[in-house]
Structure 1
Amino acid sequence: MTQGMNEAADQTASLFEEHYLIRTLGRIAHDPEVALTELVANAWDAGASRVDLTIPSSPDRSMIIEDDGHGMSSAQFKSRWMKLGYDRTRHQGPEVEFPLARRAWQRRAYGRNGVGRHGLLCFSDHYWVETWRDQCGARFEIGTQNQEAPDAQDAPFRILTEGRFEAQGSGTRLSVLVNRHLPDAERISHMLSARFLHDPQFVVRVNGRPVALADRTGLIERTELAVEDAPPVQAYVVDAAKAVQPALAQGIAFWVNGRLVGIPSWLIGANPVIDSRARIAQRYAIAVYANHGWLRDVESDWLKFKSSPRVAALFDAVRHYVQRVFATLASSLMDESSEEALMRHREQFKGLSLLGRAEVASFARDLAKSSPAVSPDVLSAAVQALINLERARGGAALLEKLTQLGESDIDGLDRLLGQWSVRDALSVLDEIDHRLAVLAAIDKLCGDEASDELQTLHPLVTQARWLFGPEFDSSEYASNVSLKSAAEKIFKRRLSGDEFAQPRQRPDLLVLGDATCSIVGTEGFDAADPMLTRIQNVLIIELKKGKSVIGREAMNQADGYVQDFLGSGAIDGTPMFRAFVVGHEIAARTTREKDLKEDGVLRGKVHAVTYGQLTRSAHQRLFRLRERLPSRYEEVSGSDLSTKVMQTPSPGGIHSSLHAHAGAGLQ
């Protein structure tokens, strides 16, 4: 009976898996820098004026962290240290408790959720704590629960041994035999100097050497920034070339109550403020200091801020400040930046006329001044482009090309200029080149497993509607508000959360879970009521993702789309529907074309086509020019071709009309 009761009790008790605590501590249990940062922060919270870290040079030797804080009694240790998720603010308040000798000091505590004290578990599964106050000391050996002690499964960590000793003053001494994640003393010293602001009342030493906590040597400007509905913050601009601490040169550093939040960078939240490669970014640093009023806005691991309106207002204030400061500082660096860009192209620069050199140099200087965040590569590319323009303006580039032409090319050029104006010839050639580039890009991307179809192939195909037949090569096809409403109603269950990088440029696209769908139509005046326009034709293009195979289910699904549009009640008029389902291949015994009738009247057609069929048919309509120009775009990658096509409007074709209609489309 007793044995049965014990078994029942065992089955209803809360048990812990082996190494439960270590697996739930996150980076504290695996990153020695994070672990030691938390242990130093604990010493701060204990009212210490000094903390000494003794870091061994090899494994299996003792590491010691000792401070002169308020210490703990045996009872306090058990109620605080041994309690999972100990709420420091609730039990001890937000202010730091100091030893009697320093009771007049004031300091705001960092700790809130009671995980920092477990930092020693980064180095071993058990450690020792000695803590003393009021002439009484207590010594504890702490270990995590493991499978070798099955009777200890009711706690993830426990006191293995404990003792007492007499002591003067107060403080805490932690020691651990390092058998994993041995830290490097020099690296830890630099890391601590970067994560805690200088405070003369708090001295940190690593292996006996004081850590030079971050100061503001090289300070250029200090400004108080107002933050809406939140405490103001202090912003410091530092010349990194004059600063003692190299960590200050890493970007924008946010400090809360004297402790660094996250890692300095030129990102505010997830948005870049400046290109980190820019000379001005490498020269200057920004430190933003917030007081203890911002502690509640910091995540418990101090890796980032929480998402809140207060934090959004803080980021907005800092962003505007950084942009304003850099606009002022740009003048001191613009000459240096523009000279470097000119030096990269000095041979071509020297070949310009005197006036041309003056214009290029002035342009480089003005660009460096107006855009202080511009990277050296971008500035260099802009200078190169202007040099090329200056050479073309002077006729040098044209003369250079003419000297390289063969006899047959010269005869052909003479014939071309005899029959066409240069403008007309360029217009025709640009349109043909654009379409050849589209076909080449589709051929390369559709068989490339590494290509991002959602971002490259699908927008490319859906913007080139002429691929589906000459009847669709019209600027009249555009997105429409009523089509948008009907499409969202019909596809709402299949919409994914994904978006294109520039969704406003492609308002006709819907991103589905397994495909991308483009829905566009033409409008015209109704014969029955010439005062009103109605939708007359609708084109639906569904492009399947991946190495897709179009089967009966996909065709039936497309059939259902058209029927759903017809029955939606959201479309004016009775348009003719053409739906194309596009994939890499078509399954055997799949109907490739279906007629959709309503009361015996043809209302639409559904087609199954492959990318190969599209490009082969388009090549035929382009008079098989691809065969006459086999080397054109042969060496250009599919992604580069896609970028070229999407960024270069077709002179008179569907591409330009697409952008013309984007503002009134499916937004």
Structure 2
Amino acid sequence: MKKLNRMAKNKIPENQFKFSFGDDFLKHHAGQIVTDQNYAIIELVANCWDAGSTDVKISWPETGGKLSISDNGIGMTKNELLYRWGKFNYNRIVEQGGKDAKFPKNVPHGNRKVFGRNGVGRHAMFCFNNEYELKTYKDGEFTHIRVVKSISGEKPYDVNLIESKPISKSEHGTEISTLIDSDEVTLIDTTKLIELIGSRFISDPQFNVYVNKHSVAMTDLSHLTEDFSIDFNGSKINIKRIFGEKGKNTKQNGIAWWYNRRLVGVPNWGTFDTQIIDGRHPIAKRLLYIANADIIDQRNLKKDWSGFYITDEVIKLQNAVYEFVRDDLRNLLYETRKERRLQVYESNRMQLASLPSEAKENIVNFLEEVQSKCPTIGVQELETTVEVLAKMEKSRSGYALLEKIASFHPDEIDSLNQILEEWTIDDAKKVLSELRWRLELVSKLEKLLEDPKADELHDLQPLFEHGLWIFGPEFESISFISNRSLATVIKNLLNDTALANERKRPDFVILSNSSIGVYSCESFNEKHEPNDFSKIIIVELKRVGIPIDTKQKDQALLYARELRKSKKVSLNTPIVAYVLGSEIEPDANETFTEGSVNIIPCRYNIILAKAHSRTFNLIKKIEEVKSITYTSEMDEVFGSNQGVLFDQA
């Protein structure tokens, strides 16, 4: 109690603290009801339904003038009107005693469930103007108010009482109206308005709507429908299927969700990530499924009835209905799809005839799945699919292999059998793939090194990046990668002598007569985390015709020292610098060692000899046995015409 007294003493005076409302408060509070004419007018009609009216008259001035919606419902007394319009998040169900609509006295009626829950529908007229008037009649009272959007921010709107007077107790109903300035507001077409209202409410003989004295035909579900029900959490979901005229109204195709006899959102064929059928399919243009969602709690509906909130209950409901619709569409389309498949089988008769029954069944099942997922797929696409599948099935069932073996000489079959006894297919494939890559690399090196105009940057240096195994067996199981950071250290050392190369390969250093690549291999600590380099490789490629001398060996040593100075490489990390060229001066032929740094000069022809040796001279053997010249698929990447990196003197 003492704590409450202290809080009361610390209360901020009213003149120092005030609540206020932002300009867009109503937009956030009522959503599309105050921004979209389609939602606004439907909400106003729904209010008439909730008021227990049997006749609703709408005056819709397309060219400007008075827009009004009047009903013969129960109406409101002065106190009810001022109370409801002064309270936000008005709980209609609690305040008015339940979900059943109340009707005027002496008006015959059946049971009617209300749409409203929280009172946002009363703001709908703000979609058309910043002010509107409301007249209502109930229990011998007539009340007339004007509602105007407030510009002060102290409240969303002002309610001004224009008139309040006694009337005959037999009068009842409400009219809400505003003036439309055609220069500022363009109303939707009257015909479209009538269609819109008719599509949103199910036909009820006790509820009639008129637009400019034209009767609105509500959605009639009493005929031309087939009824289904599916199990859901121990209850039943009622679903209706309607076949309409093709292309008559695309807004009436798909799955329509109805709640309490009112449409939720617009019909569609699923969400953006769950498309049941392409809306362009002929049958999709004629079909409408109506799913009754009354089984779920009304709190799952958005305030403006534009859709459902994504809750577990809604997702389960949608999945159950989507599964039913998919199965129903599959049954409806079965005969059409089967005719297409038979046509495709006939077109591929020769390829399919030799397949075993199991393979044929696999193709049938696959095509059925494709047609189910892609209902619009055409015959031509299916024919191509079957052609590919037939080839795959042949290969998978061994027919292609059997045809090759049938053409073998008996000695070749014995050799193949011996290979398969000593090797698994996967092992043989891995070894042959690696060997093929190395042979291609060696062949490419050979061609480039014979060309004095070879572009070391674009051609040689990338090949060495994947061909360090040429230098020795210690590079076989170690993963070396091109290191841009270390290359930058050397580039900074060379300063102005390095050529611009940022857009091509920034991990290489380009000089006027050479190119430099730096490759590193990481070492790891006890926690298997990288903590240093286990080895650094520097590869400098000299232009063909430039001899390697002691000065250039010293330059390579300078690169290694600079890497140490940068502190990016520890003192104990081995650094090996290969200086490669077409010629070496006699006094520069020996390897130079300084601590853990080795400078190794080498001629290109020696490198090629090592490469051939390490691939067991297989290129020559292949050429001799097959009587062919070895060509590489790498030519597709590098091209047969080599560019020029160095300007010729």
2:523/2:530 contact within 8 Å kept: no
Q: Which residue number in structure 1 is paired with residue 322 of structure 2?
A: 319
Query: Can you list the C-alpha shifts for 1:28-71, whole angstroms capped at 9, x where unaligned?
Result: 22111111111111111111112222211124x22111111111
Matched, 1:170 2:175: no
In 1, Cα distance between equivalents of 2:233 and 2:129:
46
Name the aligned partner's letter for residue 171 of structure 2.
Answer: G
Matched, 1:298 2:306: no
Q: Which residue number in structure 2 is paired with residue 35 of structure 1?
A: 40
Name the aligned partner's letter for residue 72 of structure 2.
Answer: D
Q: 1:237 aligns with which of 232, 237, 241?
A: 241
Matched, 1:271 2:278: no
In 2, Cα distance between equivalents of 1:183 and 1:146:
28
Closer, same or farther: CA 466–630 of 1 in aligned 2, 3 Å:
closer
Matched, 1:198 2:211: no
Q: CA deviation at 1:577?
A: 4.9
In 2, Cα distance between equivalents of 1:242 and 1:297:
33
Closer, same or farther: CA 238–104 of 1 in aligned 2, 3 Å:
closer
1:278/1:374 contact within 8 Å kept: no
Query: Can you list the C-alpha shifts for 1:250-275, whole angstroms capped at 9, x where unaligned?
Result: x1111111111222222269533344
User: Please, what TM-score do these two structures have when normalized by structure 1?
Assistant: 0.54
Matched, 1:284 2:287: yes
Closer, same or farther: CA 52–292 of 1 in aligned 2, 3 Å:
farther
2:202/2:218 contact within 8 Å kept: yes
Matched, 1:78 2:82: yes
Q: Residue 264 of structure 2: SS of its match in structure 1?
A: strand
Matched, 1:160 2:160: yes
Q: CA deviation at 1:213?
A: 1.7
Q: Which residue number in structure 2 is paired with residue 629 of structure 1?
A: 636
Name the aligned partner's letter for residue 193 of structure 1.
Answer: G
Closer, same or farther: CA 108–626 of 1 in aligned 2, 3 Å:
same
Matched, 1:208 2:213: yes
1:279/1:375 contact within 8 Å kept: no
Q: 2:104 aligns with which of 93, 99, 106?
A: 99
Q: Which moved more, 1:191-200 or 1:622-631?
A: 622-631
Q: Residue 138 of structure 1: SS of its match in structure 2?
A: strand
Root mean square deviation, CA, Å? 5.1
Q: 1:133 aligns with which of 115, 133, 138?
A: 138
Matched, 1:57 2:62: yes
1:19/1:156 contact within 8 Å kept: no
Which runs of 5 or more residues in structure 1 are unaligned?
A: 1-6, 148-152, 395-419, 437-464, 474-548, 551-558, 567-574, 581-587, 598-620, 633-667
Name the aligned partner's letter for residue 172 of structure 1.
Answer: T
Q: Which moved more, 1:15-24 or 1:138-147?
A: 15-24
1:257/1:292 contact within 8 Å kept: no
Which runs of 5 or more residues in structure 2 are unaligned?
A: 1-11, 395-415, 420-424, 439-465, 470-474, 480-505, 508-520, 534-562, 574-613, 616-629, 640-649
2:246/2:282 contact within 8 Å kept: no
Q: CA deviation at 1:73?
A: 1.1
Q: Which residue number in structure 2 is paired with residue 493 of structure 1?
A: none
* Number of positions where the alignment pairs a residue of Structure 1 with one of Structure 2: 435
User: Please, what TM-score do these two structures have when normalized by structure 2?
Assistant: 0.56
In 2, Cα distance between equivalents of 1:66 and 1:79:
21
Query: Can you list the C-alpha shifts for 1:98-157, whole angstroms capped at 9, x where unaligned?
Result: 11133642111111111111011011110011111234321111101114xxxxx43211
Q: Which residue number in structure 2 is paired with residue 382 of structure 1?
A: 382
Q: Which residue number in structure 1 is paired with residue 605 of structure 2?
A: none
Matched, 1:66 2:66: no
Closer, same or farther: CA 577–177 of 1 in aligned 2, 3 Å:
same
Name the aligned partner's letter for residue 213 of structure 2.
Answer: G
In 2, Cα distance between equivalents of 1:164 and 1:289:
43
Q: Residue 253 of structure 1: SS of its match in structure 2?
A: strand
Matched, 1:46 2:46: no
Name the aligned partner's letter for residue 635 of structure 2.
Answer: R
In 1, Cα distance between equivalents of 2:284 and 2:63:
39
2:247/2:286 contact within 8 Å kept: no
Name the aligned partner's letter for residue 377 of structure 2.
Answer: D
1:73/1:132 contact within 8 Å kept: yes
In 1, Cα distance between equivalents of 2:572 and 2:38:
67
Q: CA deviation at 1:206?
A: 2.1
Name the aligned partner's letter for residue 125 of structure 1.
Answer: N
Q: Residue 16 of structure 2: SS of its match in structure 1?
A: helix
Q: 1:110 aligns with which of 105, 108, 115?
A: 115
In 2, Cα distance between equivalents of 1:393 and 1:94:
63
Q: Residue 56 of structure 1: SS of its match in structure 2?
A: coil
Q: Residue 101 of structure 1: SS of its match in structure 2?
A: coil
2:348/2:386 contact within 8 Å kept: no
Closer, same or farther: CA 43–220 of 1 in aligned 2, 3 Å:
closer
Closer, same or farther: CA 287–578 of 1 in aligned 2, 3 Å:
farther
Task: Output aligned runs, 1:555-566, within 5 Å.
Answer: 566=527
Q: Residue 64 of structure 1: SS of its match in structure 2?
A: strand
2:296/2:313 contact within 8 Å kept: no
Task: Output aligned runs, 1:400-439, within 5 Å.
Answer: none
Q: Which residue number in structure 2 is paired with residue 503 of structure 1?
A: none
1:215/1:245 contact within 8 Å kept: no
Matched, 1:119 2:121: no
Q: Which residue number in structure 2 is paired with residue 528 of structure 1?
A: none
Q: Residue 79 of structure 1: SS of its match in structure 2?
A: helix
